[in-house]
Each structure stands twice: as structure tokens, then as C-alpha cells.
């Protein structure tokens, strides 16, 4: 897409704005949450870094990055994205395009939708279940799909039935009912994701595909579904952490001069959060960051630059 109007979302060059910026303006240059981390020259041509940014932004949205989602949620159809590039091609085009994709999927939810394992949809959503390559829907979620959601005996994969009693079969076992390896299941999940992205009018209710009778672990299967349209899917509750680990993360706030007794409390808080499955996201600075790090093992360190504070 070229710079300009996209559903009334404009891309403006800050150097061409005389006087106060128009209402609804948002600067998206470097240093802002929606700034492009890829540089022209170092990371490719202008077109290449814009394309790389689009891929990166979609991954951040899929991973439910709280900073990115907050920034995207603040946009609307008549927002004005301000950069220093227009009318030349700009990463703001990708921001507008991704925003439109999100809107087409129902907008940004405060949190992904989850349901209790073993329940079924009551709102006409497509029932997504694990199948075998012989199309014998004889047990577990596959039997439920045959009995109540239009699964067709002998049809081993894909969309089946008629709304609101419809389903989608994702093969997780072979013709002899032996469990398929993860790489094969991943290819079938990709087929589901492609179908889901092409049918914007449908919502999907996922069972623990591949984790029941097929025997795979939730931690191995759930991440495969990140490429699906997350905003139109409801996921089984055991997939909450493996699918969206950022929802189970936290960051410590303080300073290098935080009192010793407060630092001690921070360590204890980190220990308690560790037990509950949370991951620390630390900037690696002295004080609060270090105190929280000392209290837990599950952590991710994000350094401003290599070698910051003597770390690699």
C-alpha cells in the first residue's frame, strides 16, 4: 500500500505539519512503541525493512505483547500516523494494515478468550477437534463432533457440517490410529489457520487438539496455533500459559536507590510469583530489576544494549 488515506487513517510527515498536530495524531517514529526496529541499509532496502516490520508487528500482536496491543488499541479509523517518511513508503503503512486486520477479526480484546476443557460452544462457533486420517470419529472430541457438530464419517480433515452445527477436523493420528509426530500435526494446524484467516465471518472453539487421546503435551501443541486468528478463537484453559506466555509475565518497578528492606520484599514477591507460573521481564539494571531476578529462576532479560551493566 502507498502512504495516504486508508479507511480515513492518514500517514503524515511531521516535517510538513505547520502548527499544532491534527487531532488523532500519533507519532510512530523510532523510540515509540510502534517504531520500526529495522534500519534501512543495516537491515535491507526501504521496502525490505517495511516488510520485515510488518512481519514483526504481526508476531507481536499474535504473542499478545502488552505494549504493542495497548498502542494498537489506541488507534481508530480516523487516526493520523505521523512519521518522517511520507510520501515515501513507510512502516506506518504496515501499522494501518495490521490495524485493519485486527478490526476485521473483531478488534483487540482485553484478554484472549478461554473456556473450560471438555465444554462445547453454545454460540455457533466452529468446533475444532483432533481427528485420525481414516476419518473414524469414534472417541473423545471427535465423537462429540460427529454427534453434535456435523463431522462426517470418512472425512478426516477440514471444515464439515452446516452452521451453527459445524466443525473443523485437524488430523493428529494416522490411519492406524497411531499418534502423528509434531511436524505432521503442525502442517495440519497450518491448514486450519489458513482456512480460518480466509473465513472472516467464522469464530472457532478449539478443543485440546492432539493432547487427549493422541497424547501430546499442551506445551508442545498450543504454540502451533499462534498463527491462527487469535481474536476469533476461544482456547481451552490449559493452553493459557503455553499459548500466551506474556499474559503470565511481570516487571519490577523501582530505582537504583530502592531501600534495602524494599529490595528484600521484592525478592519475596518474585518467589511467590514464580510458584504461580509467572515469568519476570527484567531490564537488567541495579536495584529493583536485580532484586526481582534474585528471587526467581523463570526470567527474561532485555538489555538496552550488549554489555549493559556488565552483562552479555
Write out the residue range of the structural domain in which residue 260 sits: 251-310
The predicted model gives 290-305 an average pLDDT of 77
Provide the residue count of the chain.
312
pLDDT of residue 116: 93
Rounded distance between C-alpha atoms, residue 189 and residue 160, angstroms? 16
The conformational region for residue 238 under phi > 0 = left, psi -120 to 50 = alpha, else beta, is alpha
Clarify whether residues 192 and 156 are in a common domain.
yes
Write down which residue in 104, 131, 149 finishes a domain. Answer: 104
Torsion of the alpha carbons at 144, 147, 148 and 153, rounded to the nearest 10: 90
113 and 123 in contact (C-beta within 8 Å)? no
In percent, how much of the chain has pLDDT > 90? 55
User: 166 vs 30, 149, 161, 205, CA distance in Å?
Assistant: 46, 5, 4, 11
Phi/psi for 200 (5° steps) reads -70, -15
Clarify whether residues 225 and 134 are in a common domain.
yes
In a domain, 299, yes or no: yes
- Has this prediction a pTM greater than 0.75? no
What the block records as the C-alpha cell of 144 is 462429540
Residue 256 above 90 pLDDT? no
Clarify whether residues 267 and 220 are in a common domain.
no
Clarify whether residues 205 and 221 are in a common domain.
yes
- Across the chain, mean pLDDT equals 87
Residue 3 above 90 pLDDT? no
Residue 2 above 50 pLDDT? no
Q: How does DSSP classify residue 25?
A: E
Residue 121 above 80 pLDDT? yes
Residue 277 above 70 pLDDT? no
Residue 281 above 90 pLDDT? no
Domain count, the chain: 3
Clarify whether residues 258 and 195 are in a common domain.
no
Amino acid at each position: 500500500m502507498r502512504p495516504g488515506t486508508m479507511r480515513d487513517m492518514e500517514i503524515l510527515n511531521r516535517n510538513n505539519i505547520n502548527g499544532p498536530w491534527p487531532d488523532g495524531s500519533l507519532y510512530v517514529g523510532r523510540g515509540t512503541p510502534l517504531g520500526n526496529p529495522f534500519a534501512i541499509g543495516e537491515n535491507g532496502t526501504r521496502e525490505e525493512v517495511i516488510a520485515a516490520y510488518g512481519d514483526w508487528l504481526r508476531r507481536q500482536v499474535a504473542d499478545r505483547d502488552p505494549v504493542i496491543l495497548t498502542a494498537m488499541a489506541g488507534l481508530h479509523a480516523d487516526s493520523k500516523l505521523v512519521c518522517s517518511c511520507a510520501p515515501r513508503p513507510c512502516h506506518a503503512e504496515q501499522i494501518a494494515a495490521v490495524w485493519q486486520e485486527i478490526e476485521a477479526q473483531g478488534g483487540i480484546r482485553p484478554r484472549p478468550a478461554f473456556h473450560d476443557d471438555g465444554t462445547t460452544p453454545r454460540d455457533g462457533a466452529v468446533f475444532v477437534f483432533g481427528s485420525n486420517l481414516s476419518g473414524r470419529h469414534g472417541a473423545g472430541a471427535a465423537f462429540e463432533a460427529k454427534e453434535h457438530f456435523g463431522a462426517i464419517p470418512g472425512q478426516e480433515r477440514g471444515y464439515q457440517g452446516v452452521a451453527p452445527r459445524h466443525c473443523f477436523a485437524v488430523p493428529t493420528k494416522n490411519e492406524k490410529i497411531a499418534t502423528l509426530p509434531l511436524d505432521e500435526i503442525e502442517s495440519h494446524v497450518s491448514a486450519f489457520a489458513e482456512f480460518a484467516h480466509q473465513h472472516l465471518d467464522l469464530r472457532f472453539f478449539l478443543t485440546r487438539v492432539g493432547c487427549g487421546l493422541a497424547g501430546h503435551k499442551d506445551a508442545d501443541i498450543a504454540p502451533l496455533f499462534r498463527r491462527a486468528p487469535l481474536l476469533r478463537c476461544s482456547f481451552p484453559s490449559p493452553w493459557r500459559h503455553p499459548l500466551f506466555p506474556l499474559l503470565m509475565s511481570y516487571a519490577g518497578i523501582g530505582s537504583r536507590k530502592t531501600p534495602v528492606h524494599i529490595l528484600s520484599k521484592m525478592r519475596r514477591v518474585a518467589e511467590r510469583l514464580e510458584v504461580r507460573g509467572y515469568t519476570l521481564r527484567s531490564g537488567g539494571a541495579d536495584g529493583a530489576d536485580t532484586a526481582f531476578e534474585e528471587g526467581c529462576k523463570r526470567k527474561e532479560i532485555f538489555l538496552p544494549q550488549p554489555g549493559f551493566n556488565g552483562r552479555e
